[in-house]
Amino acid sequence: MKYKFGTAIILTTSVLFSQSVGYINAEEHQSEQTENTSKSISFEQAQKMNPKELTGLLTDEDLKLHNKDAEENSTEIESNQHTNEAYQDVNNYIAKNNIKPSTITQDSRMDSLPKYDYKSDKFIGVIIHETANPDSTIDEEINYMYNNYESAFVHAYASSSKIVQTASSDYLAWGAGAKANPYFYQIELAQSSTFDQFAKSVNNQAYLTAKMLHQNGLKPSLADNNEGTGTIISHNAISQYYGGTDHTDPINYFSQWGYDMDQFYSLVQKHYNDLNETSDTITGDTHTVVSGDTLYNISQRSGVSVAKLKSLNNLSSNDISVGQVLKLK
């Protein structure tokens, strides 16, 4: 995903700045922030609404505030060298080779981004993006995003070797235009140069999609072939059914590897079912940290956000230790 510069104030030398400068700018932005998304509707109500109904609830102020979108790269709409090559089935390849998803990590800069509430209290689905940049690594994409967050940013990135959450799931992101940003969690996919890398990367994106749906108690359903109604939706379908953007990702990039959104949905469903089978739910008012626990997986199992856990326990970082007793309420 490329980012627009036309409507945001961006320093042209931002890619050369240190991360500490990025923190300062973001903190200044938040301290001056007085606007927010208009009065929310209930999470339950939002799930029952179609795109026309959801976008109809957004005020002019909402549309102006959240009118942030990625800039479409020419590689997204042009065929590349892989397009006409024949590939084996991606999902079968993942299963046959027992490819496991990478560990989910969180970028330390995520708290420095703007924090605006969802219109629906919580996200009601996940938007699937791809970066449209074959020459950029996941780390380069993430660094670029933080340096240019006022133009656009997303919740997470996936590559063949990493899953990195870059913005809190408690707040909306700016990656799919004003009409969709207030409702969805958003994941970018870094491009790959080999079939094996693509399979691993899309497996990581599907796994994170399943995890985030599971977090909000949402069942996987594909919006692309249901007039935009569903919990998994491509940026292309956002353009078709929500508007406010004209992007087509990840459709053409997927097709270059013999893949499509129906296959992606099947992969998400597989991971979602696995999560249901292995779910180790945490209940009660406290949790004692054991070996293998992370603040993130405690959040997933307890339903308490990472930000809330840190606030309840006066944590300045995500570091926790075995035997530590964490408050959950």
Last residue of a domain, one of 278, 301, 319: 278
Question: Are residues 243 and 316 located together in one domain of the fold?
Answer: no
pLDDT of residue 261: 98
pLDDT of residue 85: 66
Measured between alpha carbons, how far is 295 from 318 in angstroms, rounded to an integer? 6
Averaged over 206-225, what is the pLDDT? 96
Question: Are residues 317 and 236 located together in one domain of the fold?
Answer: no
Instruction: Write out pLDDT tens, residues 249-287.
Output: 999 999 999 999 999 999 999 999 999 876 667 878 899
Measured between alpha carbons, how far is 144 from 267 in angstroms, rounded to an integer? 29
Residue 9, pLDDT > 60, answer no
Averaged over 199-215, what is the pLDDT? 97
Closest of 236, 160, 224, 152 to residue 196, by C-alpha: 160
Most confident of 34-43, 178-187, 307-316: 178-187
Last residue of a domain, one of 254, 278, 302: 278
User: What is the enclosing helix (H) or strand (E) of 70?
Assistant: strand 70-71
Q: How many domains does the chain have?
A: 2
pLDDT of residue 127: 98
Domain region containing 311: 286-327
pTM of the model: 0.78
**Confidence label for 2 from pLDDT (cuts 50, 70 and 90):** low
- pLDDT higher for 287 or 228? 228
Count of beta carbons in the 10 Å neighbourhood of residue 270: 18
Kindly state the percentage of the chain with pLDDT values over 90: 71
Q: The domain that contains 61 carries what CATH number? A: 3.40.80.10
CA dihedral angle for residue 182, residue 69, residue 1, residue 200, rounded to 10 degrees: 20
Q: The domain that contains 318 carries what CATH number? A: 3.10.350.10
Question: Are residues 156 and 51 located together in one domain of the fold?
Answer: yes
pLDDT of residue 71: 61
Question: Are residues 64 and 178 located together in one domain of the fold?
Answer: yes
Question: Are residues 85 and 195 located together in one domain of the fold?
Answer: yes
Instruction: Write out pLDDT tens, residues 174-186.
Output: 999 999 999 999 9
Question: Are residues 295 and 262 located together in one domain of the fold?
Answer: no
